[in-house]
Every structure is written in structure tokens, then in C-alpha cells.
Amino acid sequence: EGIGPCPLAACVLADFGADVITVCRAQGGHVQSQGDPVSRGKRSIGIDVKSSEGVAVLKRLVRQADIFLEPFRPGVVEKLGIGPEVLCTENPRLIYGRMTGFGQGGTEFSNMAGHDNNYIALAGILDFFRRGDERPFPPANFAGDYAGGGMSLAMGVLLALLERHRSGQGQVIDAAMIDGANYTALPLFKWAQTGFV
């Protein structure tokens, strides 16, 4: 299930009619669902993806799925045996959405954990959250996690579904919060160039 952007992306898809099944931890025979506002409209199933039995169950679910979203750092799902190479072989029409802070590779930050403030600072937008010469006051996690992450992932998935309608093939979406945050802040950068902010 994860926290932050991935559950929000799934919430957006559920709000617009998708049948969303959230894979949660099971503990003592009970599903450990977060039960927060972005869990609305979703069903939950407890699967131990660290076990071979759990991986087999997940693969059976994925064969019938349109979309699979995962919120882990690069390499985690590959170690579990549920990376895109495996699941997209099970279902070549699958849209496999990956949500990370810094993307799947290409930077020294890719394998690092991070938080909303890290993403918006490196994206260059934390500075917009200040008054005068004061130090920036980081906002709640809407800029990196939700706008930059969750909404970008949801949009990427929807665009991939449009492409699949044409090609018949699924694809992997690599949504990085740092990229999405930078993208959503483009109007602020433009205003900064003109001296407006």
C-alpha cells in the first residue's frame, strides 16, 4: 500500500471508476490497511509478498489487472520477484507504475530514501515558500508527494492506458517526485524570471 503519493494515485483512479485492490500486509490473519481518506473506494487484500506463495497469488491477480502501482525504492520489487520484467511477462498489457522520490536511476540520489522537503528543495521550489529574507518554510507534503508524485503517477498511468488502446501493449511508468514537483512549479519559475515572485 505504501504512504503518500502511490495511495493518492490509486485514490484518484478509484474516484474515477477504477476497481482498485490494495495489497496490504497481513498480521495475525488481519489486513493492515491504513484506512485513511485516500483509502476510500478501494478494496484491500493481505498478501505476504516476501513469500513464494504470496508472489504466486500476486502474479495471478496481475494477469487480470490493467494497472499495477508500486511505491518502493529502486530494486526492492526486483528482489521480491515482482518487478516489471516479471509482471509484464505475466501480462504484456499491464501498465506498471513506479513511484519513487528520485526516479529509477541516473542520479546519485536514485537509491536514497527521501522526504517531501528533499524533493522540493532539489527541484528548486522550496525557495518559493519564504517571506522576504526569511528561511523557507516547508509546506505540508502536497508539493512533492501529492502534486509531484501522486498526481504525476496518475496522469502517467492514464496516458499509458491511452497508448495501450492504440498499441495493445503495456508499459512501465517511472514517476519521480522530484521531476513532478519541478514540472508542477513551472509557472512559479516563469513568474520568478519576470520578477513577479
Residues with a known catalytic role? 115, 145
The sign of the torsion formed by the CA atoms of 190, 142, 3, 111 equals: positive
**How would you class 47 by CB atoms within 10 Å of its CB: exposed for 0-12, middle for 13-18, buried for 19 or more?**
buried
**What is the grid cell recorded at 120?**
522540493
Q: Give how far Cα 134 sits from Cα of 96, 119, 124, 128, 137, Å.
A: 42, 20, 16, 11, 8
Rounded distance, CA 184 to CA 151, Å?
10
Please report, as a single letter, which amino acid is at residue 118: N
